[in-house]
Structure formats: C-alpha cells, structure tokens
Amino acid sequence: MSRTGAQHFLAQGGGAPNGIVSSNFEDPNPASPHARVALDVQPGQSGISQDDAAGQVKRLIAEARKLIISRELQAAVPLVQQAIQIEPRNAELHFMLGETLELMMRPEMAILSHLEALKLDPGNAQYQCNIGTYLMRLNREQEAIGFFELAAQTDPKNAIALVRMIFLKLRHADWSAFKNLSKTLKVIKNSASNVDPFAMLPVTDDPAFQKSCSVKVARAAKASLQDEPFVRPQRQLGKIRLGYFSSDFHDHATMFLIGRLFELHDRGRFEVILYDYGKATHEAGRLRAERAADVYRHVADKTYAEIVETARADELDIAIDLKGYTRGNKVNVFQSRLAPVQVAYLGYPGTTGIQAMDYMVADQVTIPANLRKHYTEKIIYMPDCYQVNDNTRQAASHVPSRAELGLPEDAFVFCSFNGPYKVSPAEFNIWMNLLHSVPGSVLWFYANQETVRAAIAKEAEQRGIAAERIVFADTLPQAEHLARLRHADLFLDTFNVNAHTTASDALWAGVPVVTKAGKQFAARVAASLLHAVGLDDLTAATPQQYEAQALKLARDPAYLAEVKTRLKDGIQSGPLYDTESFTRSFEALMEKALERYDAGQKPDHIGLA
C-alpha cells in the first residue's frame, strides 16, 4: 500500500485492513482487585454532567496508567474500555487502548483501536505512524510503508515514521530514501524520539549516532520500570552459573554459531542455564539447545518481572544477552540486573546503551581502542575473533549442479547472500561495475520475495546490466545452503552492515569474501573474520579499493586460486573454527569478569593478556 493507497484506505472509512479481523478482548482475571472500577454514574444515565464524566475518565485513566507501568496490562484494559464508554469520541483513549494491547503482544487488536483513533483525528501523524508499526509487526510491510509515508508527509519531523519507512523500504530493495538521505538523517539525529537502533544500522555507518539511539531507548525503558534492588546471595564455592537469554534457540543463525559452545562448556566449572522466550518448536536447533543446557527454561509466557524473578532465583553469576535490539528481544530485563555480571554478546552488533549491561564481547578488529567511546559497555576482548563458530557443521551430501541452481556453467559467479535490507546503491553500483568489467559473469543474489527480485532486476537494467545476469537464490536449510555455496567464486560484502553468519558460512565453504571495514561494529565484522583466517588483504579501506580487489580476484585465476589455498589453510589451522579453543578463552574471560566483581572492582576492559 503506497502513501496514496493509505489515504484512499482512510477515505473509504478506515476499516480494518484485509486479513485483520476484529475479536472481543478476553475478560480480565476476575480475582484481580483492579479488574473493575465501579462507575459512580453509568454512561447515558440522565443527569450526568460533563464535569462528572470528565472526572470519572480522569480517575479511570490514572488507575490504568499505574497498572500499565507495573505491567498489569490485563487489569488495565477494562479501565480504558470503561473510559471509552463514557467518552467514545476521545481519540486519545482509543490510542491508549491500542498501546496497551500492543504491550500485550496483540497487534491485530491494537491496530483496530488505533484505526478508531485515526478516524476521530485523521490528521494525527502519531496515529498514522502507530498503524504503520502494527502493520509492520503483522508482516504487512507494503501497507505499513504507506502509513509511514503518510505520517512523514503529515509531520516531516516524525523520526520514528522516517526510520521505519526507510528500513522497510530497504527490506524490499527500495532505495528511494537515499536520494535525500543527508537531510533525513539530520531530522532523525535532531529528534528527541526514541528511534529503533537496529533499523538505523544499514542506513548509516555512524557509531556515535548508534550509541545515542541505544542510550535514548534504554533510558526510556528504564524510566518505566519499578524494580526491587538486586541483592546477590552469598556465593557458594563451586560452579559458575551462566545464564543465556534469547528467543533464537531454534534453527536460527545464532544457534548455528553458538550451539557447539553450549555443548563444550566445562561442566566441572560451569553450569549452563538457557532462558528461551521464543516460540516453542520441534526444530533441530531448539532440541539441540535443550539437550546442551544443564537447565532449559521456556519463559515466553512470562512477564518481564517474572523473568527477572526467575533468573534471580536461579542465582546466576553471569547473565548473557544474545539479542540486543534485534526482533523479538527482551533486552530490557537486563535493566533490572539479573546477575552480578551482565554481558551483551553475538546477537546485536552494537551497544545496548543499558547502564546495567557491564560488558560487550568483541575483538581488536571490531572494536579497536580508539572506537571504545561509542559503546556504553566495557569490552571483553576475545584473543582472535569475537564470533563463535561450530566446527561440527556439515554441508548436505548432495551438491546441486550449477544448472539446478540457475547458474551458467562457465561464468564467474559473484554472490551476495546478505539480507536485502543491508544492500544500498553504494555497493550495488560497484557490483554492476564488476559485471560490466567481467564479461559473462553473474551476480548470485539472495532474495526470497518477488518485490525484491523485481526491484533488483530493475536496478540492474537501469545500470546497463541485463536482468538475466542476476540469478536469484531462495532460503534453504543451512546444510543445503553450505552445499550450494561451493558454486560461488567470490562473496561481495555489504558496507554498513557486513555479512556476519553469512560470511562465516561462505568462508567455511571455501568462498573468499571481499569486504570494506567501516567504523561501527556491524561494519567491521567481516574484517574480523578475514583476519582470523589470514586474509587481511581482502579487507578494503575504501569503496575504490573494494572494487579493485574484487576485480583482481575475478580477472586473475592464479591469484584467486592462491587466496583459496590460504583460506583453506586458515580454516584448518586458524582460530576461527577452533570451537574448543574459543570456548576455553571465553570461559577464562567470564571468570576474569566475575573475579573483578568478587574483588569489589568496577567493570573494565579485559582480555587474556
């Protein structure tokens, strides 16, 4: 749905979008003392004055706000509903109901309340933006883009609408936002709004800005929390209790990387507890996580307060967040301090901005000393690469032919298996230059949506490259993906957000990666991986060097063969896929962090040296 489509949708009455069906909200817990607040006067009763109605609404909303802050959301909803009965044309009340339903993870119902608010106040950019947000969370991204565009048109300084519009457009390879990007970034940076940190990563390589986004989001979340102070129980001598928190303990990139670490932890020194707030599945990754843990807790149905209570009752020594600001996160449970030492690791390539997050795991490439100022955490420096890898991963036994994959038999195959949201015109222009310079070559491009395929083909043709020279790849299970990767000759990385798991997959399959090192963590990951396999020469400092290096590899078969030989040696003898050694180093650094706490010392940058 375009901006015009959103306007047309509203003009037709603003009903629920296709596929969104209204349903009654379930009754609150009748045992709750807040389940009902008696009305002094019933709606519609003769003799009721406007002052009486306004006073009753004020009391209902004041009580509802207290419940929302304490996350007693089920009890708050009927209070807001009663207020709406008294003032049905009060758009702010419908907005408040929508916000509460959203906090309860009920976007299908939340959107109906926001549509009602928008019908009552159709020029309200905040309501337009919220509808876009809920459509986005329902994976109705094209419709969401239309509402974000409408909100940005209504209020050109609505930073949240701008950020989410840009991010969703990038997911569909729509690069129109880059035409006025400097102006848009100025608006976003000058805004007091709490914009999504993750959504900004592919837009600009600016670690100072990323830090400011995370800090604002963290402070806003902290302000709404009411916590019991953390009191550490008297620590008993024995195993260190590690708690890992994520919703990605299933067939997900995180588990592909870290699953072996869970299995290799020294059970004589460590106890591993996994807190899984994702959907319960029977996927191999989730079953592996459960088997690898000493204790596996599925906490998806628990509130933030209950997760905090559970973790504290387990008397963790170190709590490790594996999500950051990625989708489906509950990073704000760390605001309440779950353990004496709290660590951010792997899932989010940037700072959390959370004051209680003591450490972030990195390495000397991803966060060199001169860039530490952009991270609120102290840095735990792994000796080689921060990224853990599973050296037991296996490619599928069947390797499809090039013909089966749609690839020409004799062509040089450049590939990009990064998510489309990471790609911008800056990289794509270089990739098209490479196709011009290497006759017959193709770009093997990951895209599992028709909107992305159509947009990329169009962009290629606009740069003088026939659409058939872009070969599209679908999602495959990891083993099958590793098998097909052998047909790529060179992996072309993206700039602001590098390939992370995707890059280590390519290297494991024997495919060299060319990257450009940026400034923010997300833009330096591939450089770290290449350093760990002894291929620093494939990391460029500028776009021009990046293009020249890729072209040299494509035109010089002897050089490409020599690089592949070095890559093979780096995989076999280097540190990147030595999971056992990684685990021992990781454990030693966790022990050092805990020793600092036990000695009464504040967190500080630490390494093994």
Task: Kindly list the structural domains of the chain, giving each domain's residue range(s) and its CATH number in brackets, ordered by start.
Answer: 3-196 (1.25.40.10), 240-391+584-598 (3.40.50.11380), 402-573 (3.40.50.2000)
**Looking only at Cα atoms, what is the longest distance across the chain?**
93
The reported pLDDT for the residue numbered 90 is 96
Single-letter residue type at 165: M
The reported pLDDT for the residue numbered 13 is 42
Would you say 443 and 466 are in contact if contact means Cβ atoms under 8 Å apart? no
The reported pLDDT for the residue numbered 546 is 99
Single-letter residue type at 292: A
Compare 10 and 451 and report the one with higher pLDDT.
451
Lowest model confidence (mean pLDDT) among 99-108, 392-401, 476-485, 545-554: 99-108
Is residue 456 over pLDDT 60?
yes
Would you say 209 and 182 are in contact if contact means Cβ atoms under 8 Å apart? no
- What are the structure tokens assigned to 554, written together? 């494509």
Compare 35 and 562 and report the one with higher pLDDT.
562
Label residue 389 left, alpha or beta by phi (over 0 means left) and psi (-120 to 50 means alpha): beta
pLDDT digits (tens, 9 = 90+) for 485-515: 999 999 999 999 999 999 999 999 999 999 9
Is residue 5 over pLDDT 90?
no
The reported pLDDT for the residue numbered 202 is 98
Please state, in angstroms and as integers, the Cα–Cα distance from residue 552 to each residue in 174, 192, 549, following that order.
30, 46, 5
Is residue 523 over pLDDT 60?
yes
- Nearest alpha carbon to residue 119 among 91, 147, 152: 91
Is residue 32 over pLDDT 80?
no
Torsion on CA atoms 142, 148, 153, 157, rounded to nearest 10 = -150
Q: How far apart are CA 394 and CA 495, in angstroms?
A: 29
pLDDT digits (tens, 9 = 90+) for 142-160: 999 999 999 999 999 999 9
Segment (H or E) for 602: none
Q: How far apart are CA 496 and CA 502, in angstroms?
A: 15
pLDDT, average across residues 453-478: 98
The reported pLDDT for the residue numbered 52 is 84
The reported pLDDT for the residue numbered 228 is 81
The reported pLDDT for the residue numbered 28 is 29
Is residue 18 over pLDDT 60?
no
pLDDT digits (tens, 9 = 90+) for 222-264: 987 777 889 887 777 789 999 999 999 999 999 999 999 999 9
Is residue 31 over pLDDT 60?
no
Torsion on CA atoms 372, 373, 376, 381, rounded to nearest 10 = 10
Q: How many CB atoms lie within 10 A of CB 461?
A: 14
Is residue 14 over pLDDT 70?
no
The reported pLDDT for the residue numbered 85 is 95
pLDDT, average across residues 339-354: 98
- Nearest alpha carbon to residue 215 among 35, 410, 11, 376: 376
- Nearest alpha carbon to residue 229 among 341, 336, 334, 356: 336
The reported pLDDT for the residue numbered 108 is 85
The reported pLDDT for the residue numbered 401 is 98
| pLDDT over 90, % of the chain | 84
pLDDT, average across residues 87-110: 92
Would you say 514 and 538 are in contact if contact means Cβ atoms under 8 Å apart? yes
pLDDT digits (tens, 9 = 90+) for 366-394: 999 999 999 999 999 999 999 999 999 99
Instruction: State the average pLDDT for the chain.
Output: 91
The reported pLDDT for the residue numbered 26 is 30
pLDDT, average across residues 577-599: 97
pLDDT, average across residues 53-75: 89
The reported pLDDT for the residue numbered 10 is 56
